[in-house]
């Protein structure tokens, strides 16, 4: 291990390995295969860079992210390590030049995209080299169809095992539940690889999820205590990205937009500013962030619901990489659910794929309506057990109240049923509160037995209740029809009186604003 430590100090300028790094490096430097699960920011790069330097020959790094490859090459360059990235922007002549330097043994690290590596000519080229140090497969979860980043090219990487039997392979990822892990091992032919699992907990991140009421106001309330901090605000649509960036700028928070629809130069310029200047807010679609290494991002906000917990974890994980306190804040509402379900229904893809996506969305919703520790729930999703509530998330510190919603839930379900399972929340609430407006009269719903039975609750209470019913799968949005609510099989036991229903009580807007200011 002494040699590894020397390299760590002499080349990279660090004093000690972190977490599993030393064990992983030991394994790979010794010629063994490894499957590494480590959260973003955990220090995965050193896990192949150090063994790459320790071993004779070229180290080949496969990554789907060009930006990330370029970053790493630049960093290695500065450290005086010979590294290049092969990508499609290079001319044929430049590529030949690189090949020549590789052949002469002048290059230590070769970064390339998977589709590049598996080209017969490339494989042939590599096989002719006298010695390869290792293969590193970054973002290994891309091989999983269960994951949200599936890349068919990754499937072909399995052949490396047979083509290069003596060369150690290390697969790395920051997102993999048990199931994805198995898929990686199987598809990349890494069944024999030693597994290194790091905890995914990010203890310095404070998690907060609020019901969406007046989202911009809520966002401002959250930001009020964070003036001058750098952060990311995620929105679902490009249009919303631009609107929110403008809004924040007008409110005195320096904000930049980022989405795939902006001209390349502007996008690159905004990204550069965000990385190099202090205290900027990047308002972005999920196009922003992969491979961004800015340690002092103090908060990540979600103005819209991510479509899975994997996405939520990745995106919030960009906060607080320096280990100092950071916040993950989200506002979510029924509209988000309807919208994502609609996208899902309209998406291409077979039934199996849709079922998986649906399952992932359900898990995301469950986290939003969670009444216990959010961190415990989040880690549990990644098959990790946190023994005690964390004391550092909203549900832990706010002392979330629950209430027995059995009776109102029955009334709400019955309003859905009696009105023909065709109406949206607004109309259903009008029925429950007994409001005789035009739409009610036109449908004759003032004569329904449920008309006006819900006056004990406020409009806000009812909206919350409907959101929670949908989130828990007790009611569903009819996407073929007009987007009205309908009953699901799952609600029958409740209607029959066989079970009760405990729901989390939403904080009132003022309480919520106060709470997020003080976290
Ligand atoms: P990942 O790929 O897991 O997201 P990186 O490899 O990019 O993480 O590392 C994240 C940051 O941590 C980088 O700035 C890196 O230089 C730093 N880092 C990694 N390992 C160490 C270490 N042993 N000591 C100090 N800094 C480290
Ligand atoms: Zn907690």
Considering only CA atoms, which residue is closest to atom 2 of ligand 1? 44
Q: Ligand 1 centre from 144 Cα, in Å?
A: 25
* Interval between CA 89 and ligand 1 midpoint (Å): 28
Looking at residue 508, the DSSP 8-state letter turns out to be P
pLDDT by residue, tens only, the chain of 519 residues? 689 999 999 999 999 999 999 999 999 999 999 999 998 778 999 999 999 999 999 999 999 888 788 889 999 999 999 999 998 788 889 999 999 999 999 999 999 999 999 999 999 999 999 999 999 999 999 999 876 678 999 999 999 999 999 999 999 998 777 888 999 999 999 999 999 999 889 999 999 999 998 999 999 999 999 999 999 999 999 999 999 999 999 999 999 999 999 999 999 999 999 999 999 999 999 989 876 779 999 999 999 999 999 899 989 999 998 889 999 999 999 888 888 888 888 888 788 778 878 888 888 998 998 888 999 999 988 888 899 999 999 999 997 888 899 999 999 999 999 999 999 999 999 999 999 999 999 999 999 999 999 999 999 889 889 988 988 889 988 777 677 899 999 999 999 989 999 888 876 655 555 555 544
Please give, one letter per residue, the 3-state secondary structure of 258-304: ECCCCCHHHHHHHHHHHHHCCCCEEEECCCCCCCCCCCCCCEEEECC
Closest-CA residue, ligand 1 atom 20, reads 43
Helices 351-368 and 334-346: crossing angle in degrees, nearest 10, is 170
Ligand positioned closest to the Cα atom of 293: 1
Q: Atom of ligand 1 at shortest distance to CA of 295? A: 14
Alpha carbon distance 224, 98 (integer Å): 51
> Measured between alpha carbons, how far is residue 89 from residues 26, 85, 159 in Å?
36, 10, 27
Q: What is the pTM of this model?
A: 0.78
- Give the residue, out of 14, 23, 43, with the most ligand 1 atoms within 8 A of its beta carbon, to mutate for a pocket test: 43
Angle at alpha carbon of residue 347, lines to 140 and 244, rounded to 5°: 85
Beta bridge partners of 348: none
Which of 351, 347, 491 is CA-nearest to residue 416?
Answer: 491
| Ligand approaching nearest to the C-alpha of 296 | 1
Q: Ligand 1: which residues within 6 Å by Cβ?
A: 14, 17-18, 21, 38, 40-46, 293
Q: Whose CA is nearest to atom 26 of ligand 1?
A: 14
């Amino acid at each position: 291990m002494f040699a590894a430590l020397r390299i760590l100090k002499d080349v990279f300028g660090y004093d000690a390995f972190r977490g599993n790094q030393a064990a992983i490096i030991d394994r790979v430097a010794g010629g063994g295969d490894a499957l590494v699960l480590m959260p973003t920011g955990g220090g995965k790069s050193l896990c192949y860079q150090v063994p790459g330097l320790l071993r004779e020959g070229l180290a080949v790094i496969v990554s789907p992210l060009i930006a990330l490859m370029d970053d790493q090459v630049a960093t290695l360059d500065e450290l005086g390590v010979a590294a290049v990235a092969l990508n499609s922007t290079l001319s044929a002549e430049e590529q030949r030049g690189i090949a020549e330097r590789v052949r002469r043994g002048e290059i230590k690290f070769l970064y390339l995209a998977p589709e590049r590596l598996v080209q017969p000519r490339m494989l042939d080229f590599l096989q002719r080299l006298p010695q390869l140090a290792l293969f590193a497969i970054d973002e290994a979860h891309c091989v999983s169809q269960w994951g949200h980043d599936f890349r068919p090219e990754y499937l072909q990487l399995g052949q490396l095992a047979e083509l290069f039997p003596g060369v150690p392979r290390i697969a790395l990822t920051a997102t993999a539940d048990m199931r994805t892990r198995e898929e990686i091992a199987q598809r990349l032919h890494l069944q024999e690889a030693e597994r290194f699992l790091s905890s995914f907990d990010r203890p310095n991140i404070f998690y907060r999820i609020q019901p969406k009421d007046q989202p911009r106001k809520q966002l401002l309330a959250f930001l009020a205590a964070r003036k001058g901090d750098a952060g990311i605000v995620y929105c679902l649509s490009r249009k919303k990205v631009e609107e929110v960036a403008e809004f924040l700028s007008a409110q005195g928070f320096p904000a930049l937009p980022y989405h795939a629809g902006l001209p390349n130069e502007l996008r690159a310029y905004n990204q550069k500013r965000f990385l190099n200047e202090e205290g900027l807010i990047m308002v972005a679609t999920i196009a922003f962030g992969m491979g961004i290494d800015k340690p002092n991002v103090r908060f990540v906000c979600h103005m819209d619901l991510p479509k899975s917990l994997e996405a939520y974890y990745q995106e919030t994980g960009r906060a607080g990489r320096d280990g100092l306190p950071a916040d993950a804040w989200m506002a979510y509402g029924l509209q988000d659910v309807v919208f994502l379900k609609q996208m899902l229904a309209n998406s291409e893809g077979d039934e199996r794929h849709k079922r998986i996506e649906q399952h992932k969305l359900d898990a995301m919703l469950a986290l939003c309506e969670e009444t216990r520790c959010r961190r415990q729930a989040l880690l549990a999703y990644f098959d990790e057990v946190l023994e005690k509530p964390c004391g550092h998330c909203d549900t832990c510190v706010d002392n979330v109240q629950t209430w027995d919603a059995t009776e109102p839930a029955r009334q709400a379900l019955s309003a859905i049923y009696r009105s023909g399972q065709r109406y949206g929340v607004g109309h259903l609430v009008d029925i429950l509160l007994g409001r005789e407006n035009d739409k009610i009269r036109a449908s004759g719903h003032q004569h329904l037995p449920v008309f006006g039975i819900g006056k004990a609750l406020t409009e806000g209470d009812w909206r919350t209740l409907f959101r929670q019913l949908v989130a828990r799968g007790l009611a569903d949005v009819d996407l073929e029809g007009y987007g009205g609510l309908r009953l699901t099989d799952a609600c029958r036991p409740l209607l029959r009186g066989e079970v009760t229903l405990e729901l989390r009580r939403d904080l009132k807007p003022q309480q919520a604003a106060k709470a997020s200011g003080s976290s």
